[in-house]
Amino acid sequence: MGGLALANMTDPDRIWNEASVKLRAEIGDGPFSSYIAPSAVRVDGAGQLILVTPTGYARDWVRKNALRRLNELWLGLDGLSRRLEVRCRAEVGSVPPASAVAVQALSAAPGEPSVAPTVAPVTDGARAVRAAGLQERLTFDSFVEGQGNAFALAIAKQTASWADGHFNPIFFCGPYGYGKTHLLNAIAWEAQRLRPDAKVVYLTAERFLSTFVKAMQDRSTAAFKESLRSADMLLLDDVQFVGGKASTQEELLSTLTALIEDGKRIVLSADRPPMALTEVEPRLRSHLAAGLTCPVEPADRALKIAVAQNRLNAFAKMGLVQGEASREVLEQVVDRTPGSVRELEGAVNTLAAAAGARLASLGVDETLTLLGSALRGGPERRITVDEIQKTVAEHFNMKQADLLSERRTRAVARPRQIAMYLCKQHTTRSYPDIGRRFGGRDHTTVLHGVRKIEELMPQDDQIARDVEALTRKLRG
């Protein structure tokens, strides 16, 4: 029992979860989501704990505004009295997760810059491979399949299996926070597991850019080129960030061309399809679009609920929570987190840290109280049905009375369905109650309208943009 207590007092992941909940409440959801949530705690070779931010700008913001308080919270929770340093991702390179046992990486040639995070060969088949830049939890086993990502998942598994007939390159595209990075990580883990002797390289576009610039400054571009072009599989995440940088685009184009000519595998991701990356040079766009483009669509409500449940199941296995959350609690967390799956996971993380052993007994009201401002549309900012109706009517240049009328033309029916959908997302009203507020309609009419909008949002960009714009207006 004493050993378990000591482990809980010194486990960096657990400490980070608890400290994050407190810090979010103190600095607010906006700054936390922008600068703290995308960061992660790692440990360097000397055992120093490091908060790794995605960019140098985020690092500087954390140092100035949050690091002192974060260390106060950390020291109050850590049985070993360790302190955190903060660095950006480009500075740390191969620093492994704080809770992981580091394994020896592949050695670089003399004089070669350490630019290509590569998964080390697996010497123990029962042990998961680890690599700089990859996240251990982002595997195929932890990926939740749904209607919007089933095709992309199937292609990802085919790619990871090194199957013949492979399209090259594979290009995953879709909005921020819906699983593209997860798929690239999962491909890297599985590809290396199946071929331990292969060189699998995963890079973010930001790291590709910063390392290439450093190689030019150090006059070591030849080693940089070789480190990438010797890869058997190259995975490049968030490729849209190379746009507007001529020399980097030229180098990426040369790298892709060389790898394709040698029959090597290439996997990329971006927030838009290749030909929509207007800031990218046309020749590079053409190469990006030459293989197979796989959209990763926004998650529907059913998939989000499954993601939330899967995340809580993972916490239960780690001993962070006990029991299962009720369906009503999961629905409230999902409905009040209408953004990306990544934002939903942040809300679930907060719920797990706040609830712990009380998870199974939580009701909806207590859940909202525990989470507070971590959930959009929480109790501190109540959005009313009347407010939604007025906002929707103004957005579509119509009268509020039209939404309550019997008119069934598409120009009225679709905005009415969007308004019903937003009522279900941002209020605690039941379907029958919403129906009464829309001219005395039956609850089945409301249910049909909500499901219709959920169905159309991944398919119709205009409806998705309308819902997003209205959501921003309602949040003030």
Residue-wise pLDDT tens digits, 129-170: 334 467 777 889 888 888 778 888 899 998 998 887 668 889
DSSP class per residue in 22-47 = HHHHHH-HHHIIIIITT-EEEE-TT-
Cβ atoms within 10 Å, residue 68: 9
Please check the confidence at residue 111 and state whether its pLDDT lies above 50.
Answer: no
**Cβ distance 468 to 418 under 8 Å?**
no
Q: Collapse the DSSP code of 270 into the 3-class scheme (helix H, G, I; strand E, B; otherwise coil) and give the result.
A: strand
DSSP state letters, 304-347:
HHHHHHHHHHHHHHHTS--S---HHHHHHHHHT--S-HHHHHHH
Selection from 284, 263, 266 nearest residue 275 by Cα:
284
Q: Give per-residue pLDDT as tens, 244-294.
A: 677 788 888 888 888 888 888 989 998 888 888 877 888 888 888 888 888
Which one has a higher pLDDT value, 39 or 172? 172
Nearest Cα residue to 386 out of 398, 364, 370, 404: 404
Please give the average per-residue pLDDT across 407-412, as a whole number.
87
**What value does the CA radius of gyration of the chain take, rounded to a whole number of Å?**
24
Angle between the 341-355 and 301-318 helix axes, to the nearest 10 degrees?
40
- Who has greater pLDDT, 187 or 460? 187
Residue 118: predicted pLDDT: 34
Instruction: Supply 178's token pair.
Output: 């819906």
Between 415 and 211, name the one with better pLDDT.
Answer: 415
3-state secondary structure (DSSP) of residue 269: strand
Which position has the token pair 């992941």? Answer: 13
**pTM, rounded to two decimals:** 0.52
Residue 224 pLDDT > 90, yes or no? Answer: no
Tokens representing 309?
Answer: 């449940």
In what helix (H) or strand (E) does residue 251 lie, and over which residues does it extend?
A: helix 246-261
- Region 431-457: mean pLDDT is 87
Burial (CB < 10 A; 0-12, 13-18, 19+), residue 272, is middle
In the predicted structure, residue 107 carries a pLDDT above the cut 50: no
- Tell how strand 49-53 and strand 40-43 pair up: antiparallel
**What local confidence, expressed as pLDDT, does residue 406 receive?**
87
Rounded mean pLDDT of 72-85? 79
Q: Take residue 12 and report the two structure tokens written for it.
A: 């960096």
Helices and strands in the chain: count of H runs, count of E runs: 22, 8
Phi, psi of 316 (to 5 degrees): -65, -40
pLDDT of res. 254: 86
